């Protein structure tokens, strides 16, 4: 064909590419736990510890008789007998990268002209999701494991994640010592029919989507166990968010089996809002925050456990992050001429001063 067309002028004939300097990462990267939890003083040891204590039940029916001496042994109490030492370990997080000498000189499309700078940016985002997932995991605190037959099994110390702290039946990690177990979250789960009271954990994977009645019982249990009337943040996976929004659906409010709460529609601006971002019930105000990194195991993608998960955290210093080392980018020497290498690293732990004030959905 004598005619040059858009079909026969290709790269071999000099056709240029139209590749823009745009790069869009499509994987989730928002880390609300990491971004919102308060930070406390830097740890000075790989194990961070604090004391917990309780109070006895009120006694008032048998006051001492005026003028009668107290029994020296029987009438005096050790006020420190129930103290227990809780702890969490400092965990190291790191990500690495390397760029060869020739690669560092190539003209590559993307928002960063430097492949090394782009690699550092990507590694930093990934490190944040590592931290978020560890905070929102069921991992329990443990010492380092070294000297195994398989070197890949070696690991450093592990912090205790929120679903480890909120486990009412936990017997490992920070709950290994029997003296600490009275300070765990309360209960072993809530029955689907809502008949079980006094429990602050609900298993949605076994019992199905949460209902308004059970949601109220969970917050009631946390209130009764801790006495906290502060507001909460609920970090929630997408399936749990759908269940919470369904609390106010019209089909539930009018003739539905759940008898959900009614809602008013203000159509002045032509917008119908069906998203629940705050719940106010008898025991607390709860701000709802989506999170895609809850209750995952290491290396796993979002699954049913993460979609159904939710963790209630008081808006105070009950739960906090303690950084031994802030996130630090370390440029490593080019030994042998192989190229530029870097390490992004941090050391931190998660502290939970009062696990009784936590509630969780798994």
Q: How far is Cα 313 from Cα 175, in angstroms, rounded to an integer?
A: 19
Six-digit token string for 141: 């605190």
pLDDT number for residue 17:
86
pLDDT number for residue 162:
98
pLDDT number for residue 270:
67
Report, in angstroms and rounded to the nearest whole number, the Rg of the chain calculated over CA atoms: 27
Q: 352 with 318: CB under 8 angstroms?
A: yes
pLDDT number for residue 286:
94
pLDDT number for residue 251:
47
The domain containing residue 97 runs over which residues? 32-51+82-264+274-361
Q: How many CB atoms lie within 10 A of CB 81?
A: 7
In a domain, 349, yes or no: yes
pLDDT number for residue 172:
96
In a domain, 18, yes or no: no
DSSP codes of every residue in 2-68: -S--TTT--GGGTPPP---S-----S----HHHHHS-B-PPPSSSEEEEEE---PPP--SSPPPTTP
Q: How far is Cα 269 from Cα 201, in angstroms, rounded to an integer?
A: 40
CA distances from 184 to 175, 177, 208, 227 (A): 8, 12, 24, 14
In a domain, 118, yes or no: yes
In a domain, 115, yes or no: yes
pLDDT number for residue 190:
47
Q: Is 335 exposed, middle or buried (0-12, 13-18, 19+ CB in 10 A)?
A: exposed
Six-digit token string for 199: 């429990």
Run of H or E residues at 206 = helix 204-207
**Positions in the chain short of pLDDT 70:** 1, 146-153, 188-197, 248-274
Task: Please tell me the total count of domains within the chain.
Answer: 1
In a domain, 166, yes or no: yes
Q: How many CB atoms lie within 10 A of CB 14?
A: 7
Please name which of 33, 34, 89, 91 lies closest in space to residue 310, comparing C-alpha atoms: 33
Which one-letter DSSP state was computed for residue 136?
T
Q: Strand locations in 68-208, DSSP E?
A: 84-89, 91-99, 201-202
In a domain, 9, yes or no: no
pLDDT number for residue 1:
52
pLDDT number for residue 257:
52
In a domain, 1, yes or no: no
Please name which of 203, 238, 231, 208 lies closest in space to residue 218, comparing C-alpha atoms: 203
In a domain, 24, yes or no: no
């Amino acid at each position: 064909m004598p005619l040059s067309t858009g079909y026969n002028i290709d790269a071999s004939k000099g056709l240029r590419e139209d590749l823009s300097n745009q790069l869009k990462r499509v994987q989730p990267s928002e880390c609300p736990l990491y971004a919102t939890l308060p930070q406390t003083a830097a740890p000075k040891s790989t194990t961070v510890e604090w004391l917990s204590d309780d109070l006895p039940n009120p006694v008032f029916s048998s006051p001492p008789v005026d003028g009668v001496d107290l029994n020296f042994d029987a009438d005096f109490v050790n006020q420190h007998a129930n103290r227990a030492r809780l702890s969490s370990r400092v965990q190291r997080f790191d990500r690495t990268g390397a760029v060869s000498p020739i690669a560092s000189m190539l003209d590559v499309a993307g928002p960063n002209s430097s492949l090394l700078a782009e690699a550092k940016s990507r590694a930093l985002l990934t490190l944040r999701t590592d931290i978020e997932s560890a905070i929102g995991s069921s991992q329990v605190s443990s010492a380092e494991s070294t000297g195994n037959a398989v070197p890949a099994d070696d690991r450093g110390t592990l912090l205790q994640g929120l679903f480890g702290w909120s486990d009412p039946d936990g017997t490992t990690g920070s709950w290994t010592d029997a003296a600490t177990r009275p300070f765990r979250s309360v209960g072993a789960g809530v029955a689907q029919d809502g008949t079980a009271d006094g429990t602050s954990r609900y298993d949605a994977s076994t019992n199905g989507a949460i209902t308004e009645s059970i949601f109220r019982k969970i917050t009631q249990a946390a209130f009764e166990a801790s006495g906290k009337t502060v507001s909460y943040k609920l970090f929630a996976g997408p399936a749990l968010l759908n269940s919470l929004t369904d609390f106010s659906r019209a089909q539930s409010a009018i003739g539905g089996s759940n008898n959900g709460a009614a809602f008013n529609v203000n159509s002045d601006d032509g917008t119908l809002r069906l998203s629940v971002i705050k719940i106010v019930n008898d025991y607390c105000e709860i701000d709802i925050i989506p999170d895609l990194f809850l209750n995952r195991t290491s290396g796993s993608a979002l699954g049913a456990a993460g979609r159904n998960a939710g963790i209630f955290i008081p808006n105070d210093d009950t739960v906090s992050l303690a950084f031994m080392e802030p996130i630090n980018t370390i440029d490593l020497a080019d030994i042998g001429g192989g190229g530029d290498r870097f390490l992004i690293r941090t050391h931190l732990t998660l502290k939970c001063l009062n696990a009784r004030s936590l509630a969780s959905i798994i």
